[in-house]
Chains A and B, each alone.
Chain A
């Protein structure tokens, strides 16, 4: 089955800096790669996703890149703000299967 590794487990940045979180996956048939943000005591919520036919996707300060050959994908957050502080999860799935999540990255943005 699918296995997703996520790094780093914790990340501390200054407000305005960029943050990058990286994930690798094992199943070459996986074709859907979402990123979820989970604030303390809340549910995980989708912030951006990418499919295997696309190499990069942007949404304002957030971008995701995918390298299918290397089987890794990354989340980039630019101009970080204190409200970006949360736990971020990457996930992967193939058609008709469940999302398998990485272990999460705790991002702390200090002002």
Chain B
């Protein structure tokens, strides 16, 4: 398996634009997590799914953020409208049951 795959690797967008981040988890994994990493706040959990169902989205900062997992091999994190304070590295991770979480390479988002 190629591991967790995220796209794009880098995204630069203007304030107010819609941003969509994509993730392909490892085949066979039943959990998918979205994290946001900043210097100030570290690795924050945004939302996670179990068998494609959202379990806990209490970490999603505002209604501007939404996430979907239409099937076991794909998830998206959308920000609309984007703001400069959303600039961060967004990681997707997947795991099988309560075991090691494997991280994707991350998407570095810059909102100007």
List the interface of chain A (C-beta within 8 A of B). 1, 31-32, 34, 42-46, 49, 89, 93-104
Q: How far is it, in angstroms, between the C-alpha of A95 and the C-alpha of B99 when the chains are bound?
A: 9
B45 touches A99 (CB 8 A): yes
A102 touches B91 (CB 8 A): no
- Residues of B with C-beta under 8 A to A49: 100
Main secondary structure of the interface of A (DSSP, over half): loop
User: B43 near A: Cβ within 8 Å?
Assistant: yes
- Residues of A with C-beta under 8 A to B106: 43
Interface residues of B in 74-102 (CB under 8 A from A): 91, 98-101
A98 touches B48 (CB 8 A): yes
**Which of A34, A44, A46 has most chain B Cβ within 10 Å?**
A44
Contact of A43 among B50, B99, B100, B104 (CB under 8 A): B104
A98 touches B105 (CB 8 A): no
Q: How far is it, in angstroms, between the C-alpha of A89 and the C-alpha of B35 when the chains are bound?
A: 14
Pull 30 A–B residue pairs with CB atoms less than 8 Å apart, ordered by A: A1-B58, A32-B98, A32-B99, A34-B100, A34-B101, A42-B105, A43-B91, A43-B104, A43-B105, A44-B43, A44-B91, A89-B42, A89-B43, A93-B98, A94-B98, A95-B98, A96-B50, A96-B98, A97-B48, A98-B48, A98-B55, A100-B45, A101-B35, A101-B42, A101-B43, A101-B45, A102-B42, A103-B42, A104-B42, A104-B43
User: B56 near A: Cβ within 8 Å?
Assistant: yes
Number of interface residues of B (CB under 8 A): 21
Q: How far is it, in angstroms, between the C-alpha of A95 and the C-alpha of B50 when the chains are bound?
A: 12
With A43-B91, A44-B91 known as contacts, the answer to whether A99 contacts B101 (CB < 8 A) is yes
Q: Contacts A96-B55, A97-B55 known; list 20 others, CB within 8 Å.
A: A1-B58, A34-B101, A43-B91, A44-B43, A46-B101, A89-B42, A93-B98, A94-B98, A97-B48, A98-B31, A98-B48, A98-B55, A99-B45, A99-B101, A100-B45, A101-B45, A102-B42, A103-B42, A104-B42, A104-B43
